[in-house]
A and B are shown apart, each in its own frame.
Chain A
Amino acid sequence: MFKKNLAAKLTLVPSAVVIAVCFYGTILWTLYISLTHSTMLPNYKFYGFSQYATLLSMPRWHTAFANMLIFGSLFIAGSLIIGTTLAALLDRNVKAEGLFRVFFLYPLSMSFVVTGLAWQWLLNPTTGIEALVRSFGWQDFSFNWLASPEKAIYAVSIAAIWQSSGLVMAIMLAGLRGIDGDIWKAAKIDGIPVWRSYVSIVLPMLRPLILTCVILLATAVVKSYDLVVAMTGGGPGISTDVPGKFVVDLLFQRANISTAAAAAILMLVSVICALSPYVYIELKRQKR
């Protein structure tokens, strides 16, 4: 009976192999390596969880992980707020809506490298915004976040928000367009001002979409590498390091494979945590 649909099944064999080996097989391999003591080349002797202990005691990892959380919260919150606000504004029957949309979305067509370099330029102390404002006379104006170990990560967040808030806008705008027009009329009759309708009525209705945006943004945070490399190179020092860069550096520059593997597994765990509210809600929905 498995001759039925044979061609379809055979066609899926390469994909199944790819998925099994390249996506999940590699996870298992990385997991195993994180439990060994490999430096430059894999050493398959089981070593227990000591690599995780090493990892958790490394200051660089602390910085990277903390950055991920800081950057992540700013990025998600900022993109959500800006993106949703823009979507709400565009939903109000705006002339030249097309023009605005073109500008809000184009950053998404650009590589994170391009974004990073453009913002690096903007925030350049000698030629960028700081210099501009100083040339107006405010000699003490300082906007040199890229050189400040504490503030650099915020600069990265700004660039990331700039790039991705358009995505939130696109998704939320599509959602807003799908809202029944009668809801607006009902709110108007009840005398509720427009902005209040958005906050109290419409946005709660779009909760699933907001959740989708959060998930997409959160996973992008965990994966972030390109932007940091281009914009700050992880610096100054290691102050803008993120787990993504941490892993790649340890793998290819520091020849510390098992620690890198441990870090990668922790990244995976973070993604799973980010996904779990969604999975939870989906499972609840299917039970109904």
Chain B
Amino acid sequence: MTVGAIPLSARPAPSTPQQWWTLTTRMIAPTLANGELATQIIGSIVFTVGFYLPLKNILGAVQPMSSYAQYLTPLIVVQAIFFAAVSAAFRSAIDALQGINRRFRAMPMAALTPLAARMTASIYRCVVALVVSLACGHVIGFRFHGPLWHTVGFIALTLLIGAALALVGDLIGAATRNPEATAPLLLVPQVTLGLASVGLQPVERFPGWIQPFVRDQPLSQFLNSMRALAGDSTPAAPPVTWSVIGPALAWVAGIVVVFTWLHARVAARRP
């Protein structure tokens, strides 16, 4: 106990980029050791195997595209970024629960820096999810058939969707402050939207009363756009037009606006 507990020198000036990067790496660094990365990889493989193998003969025949792999892979990608959003929700709930957010708010740091760092970590998770799920898709036969800028568009749109979902997950974590509750809360939309979408089978295969929902719900809009951007060896893929891509972008924009507003509301609550 001889070393001084209290530094004598004046405080340095904190820098926002340094704070953002510090908070981002604190979330990315443990993903290698704590199994988050492994879960992401295994999750995508399990999902690919679990849906592709049993369904490729039954549903492969009723979908319009060249192969069921080409039809199914966008759903595998979306499910993978959903898993990334669950991780985002879990981390955000832990931070809210442990009181570290409260501590950050009493430190010389811009109010949005912790959220920006959490979102950056979420984008990293989405990149991992995208790479792993596309690798799984490649194995079963998925290929990009469009020009390069369509492929770039596919990646950009997927990351945008991932960011929007991560924002939702982050809010659920911050609002519930309950890490255990985050996975079930996100599982409900993941499963219901996932199954009642055009991800596994075309909309005509659903009963008439539910078809409007299946066709118009956001996940189906995302999947249509991703199929359009991925293309196909036959002309069966949806065309890359504003009427196909527009609704997906509108959903992403809507989610970002609404949930950013909700984030501000949650942050304004009593510490």
- Asked if A pairs with B, the answer is no
Give me the interface of B with A, judged by CB distance under 8 Å: none
Give me the interface of A with B, judged by CB distance under 8 Å: none
